[in-house]
Chain A
Amino acid sequence: MEKILSLKNVSKTFPVGKTLLGKPDKFVHAVNNVSFDVYQGETFSIVGESGCGKSTTGRLINHLLAPDSGEIHFMGKEITKLTQDEMRPMRKDMQMIFQDPAGSLNPRMRVEDLIAEPLLIHTNMNKAERMNVVNELLGIVGLSSKHAKRYPHEFSGGQKQRIGIARALTVNPKLIIADEPISALDVSIQAQVLNLLHNLQEKFSLTYVFISHDLSVVEMISDRIAVMYLGFVVETAPKELLYQNSLHPYTKALLSAVPIPDPGHHKERIILEGDIPSTIDLPKGCPFAARCRACKPECLEQRPVTREVEPGHFVSCHLYK
């Protein structure tokens, strides 16, 4: 399969503290040395708890943020050094869906203008042509053309997210970065939007980078999954391997926390002790060492290297060598 997106050792820090002279002296290490590939037509999920750098990774891919180091290749082109002007033509192929459907729609624009905006930027269509596309897309995402003249506040959360999805689809993107697209929605609506995303993927042969903290959602939609902790990718594997044979202790703990809707079911629940280490002063060794049950002296001293322990299954842990 063809690689559509590839991250190589991408890191991003944000300055927090400042010295008297105004030079930043403290940094939040949001994304550390992240590498993964996304192939054409698949759904690649990034999971992890809040603050683990998944959304930052999404914004780095979308070039809303520039990484401090590392390379991001999108459709064979290195994009990290591009200016916004150079990036603009690439954005046609890479659209983003955001977590907060209400906040992501300009409250002062009509639905038709919101959805038509990418067309205005990336194509030379006239108004009538744009409105044709808008009406068609409203139908595709399950709204109707009579909604076109309305304002975002007149819609429910699920409907707003459909508008956001329609907008992302207007310019026929190859890749869609979905940053927690359903976590702001009701559970009943979540399923609808997931189904919609799934149907759209088949219809338009889309590739998704799906960012989520919800493991049951990720299991439903993904082909491959990357687990992030403290800005590091600790394990990457195809869905089946990850859910049946998770290797990293953090992944195991995460999976044990997924509720199973069966009152008779008893399973071992791995409770993590301690807090997440500060992202300002990263631990010297393995980022997970402080909370890991299988922690060895070596784990506190040395960063583990990412290894492919079985085909397609990458883990960075000193237990697997």
Chain B
Amino acid sequence: MSNTPKEQEKSNLSFEENYIDENIIADKSSRTKEFIKKFMKRKTAVAGLAVIVILVIIAIIGEYIAPYDPAAYDYDNMLAGPSAAHWFGTDHYGRDIFSRILAGTRLTLGVSLSSVIVGAALGTVLGLLAGYYGGVIEMLVMRSSDVLFSFPDILLAIAIVAILGPGIINVFIAVMVFTVPSFARIMRSSTLAVKSSLYVEVAQSLGCKDGRLLFVHIFPGTIQSLIVNFTMRIGSAIMAASSLSFLGFGANVTDPEWGAMLSQSRSYLNVAPHMVYLPGLVIFITVLAFNLFGDGLRDTLDPKIK
């Protein structure tokens, strides 16, 4: 092991002097730096992150920077195409589409993000418990996940909304429900992997209680896969929430929600195609940004990929 002359010399030192190694290079901040460096190499992921940051800013201040009142009718300018006055054109009531997209960002992102956050929290707890305790809990959690998995996401969401009735809260519940099993599954398998590591056995031999074992020793080891899955799921949550609104199950048609806007524009496809493709493009870019960011994050966190 010790081949360099310096190390050789060191191992010749007396027992007391040898062990205090001053040449410790890696510390926590350099690990973070390395992570950022590795992430920055992935151009598409960086672009995705940039779009996400812009979207979040718009979600917060969108209403205030919108050039027009998103709900103001303008009967002189109905179905107008994109122009200097109306960048994205106007809809069938003459409302400025650009302003509506800005104002709707909060609604669309809010529903998707909150449903993924709540779904991820539930799925994580279930997956942790299933992986840690095994037995009946594991069987119940995993088999019910399998049942939910057997439906295509959007079909399941439609079924839930059909039962609960339309409305933005019910969209949130529907998206949340189909988010839970994917987190339960991923967390169960990472929990199993971390649980079998030696340091968890050591913690057991020290006398750690279950709660401490789970949350201090096992959970931190699973966070990486949790974060990656989280970013990936946001994309599909936006898709699902917009789709539900498009189908008329979600937001109120007068709300500037992106999917609802698409739904409204359907009848004017021939006269005013900009009403369809501009909100559609925004949804597309948003989903793409979250997916690219998630991919990049996954690759960066994978030590096997340089």
Measured CB to CB, the residues of A under 8 A from B are 62, 64, 84, 87-88, 91-92, 95-96, 98, 100, 103-109, 117-118, 121-122, 142-144, 150-151, 153-156, 158-159, 162, 167, 186, 188, 192, 195
Contacts and interface: CB of A to CB of B under 8 A. Distances in A.
Contacts of B220: 108
B54 interface: no
A143 B18 CA distance: 10
A145 to B, nearest CB: 11
A64 B201 contact: yes
Contact of B21 (A84, A92, A159): A159
- Chain B interface size band reads 20 to 34
A107 B203 CA distance: 13
Q: Which of A100, A117, A122, A162 has the most CB of B within 10 A?
A: A117
Given A108-B220, A121-B208, A121-B209, 5 more contacts: A95-B206, A100-B198, A105-B202, A142-B20, A167-B206
Contacts of A98: 198, 202
Contacts of B84: none
Contacts of A156: 21
A136 B28 CA distance: 24
A154 B26 contact: yes
A186 B1 contact: yes
Contacts, number: 76
Given A103-B197, A108-B221, A186-B1, A144 B20 contact: yes
A64 B196 CA distance: 13
B202 A96 contact: yes
B302 to A, nearest CB: 16
Contact of B24 (A84, A118, A121, A155): A155
5 contacts: A106-B203, A142-B15, A150-B27, A151-B27, A186-B2
B24 A105 contact: no
A96 B296 CA distance: 41
Nearest to A88: B207
Interface string B193-219: 000011101111111110010001100
Contacts of B203: 106, 117
Contacts of B252: none
A84 B1 CA distance: 41
B76 interface: no
Interface string B17-33: 01111001011100000
Contacts of A121: 206-209, 212
A91 B205 CA distance: 7
B132 to A, nearest CB: 13
B11 interface: yes
A104 B199 contact: yes
A62 B205 contact: yes
Contact of B207 (A92, A104, A142, A150): A92
Contacts of A162: 19
Contact of A143 (B19, B26, B202): B19
A103 B198 contact: yes
Contact of A195 (B11, B15, B204, B217): B15
Contacts of B199: 103-107
Contact of A192 (B15, B20, B27, B216): B15
Contacts of B205: 62, 64, 91, 95-96
Contacts of B2: 186, 188
A107 B28 CA distance: 12
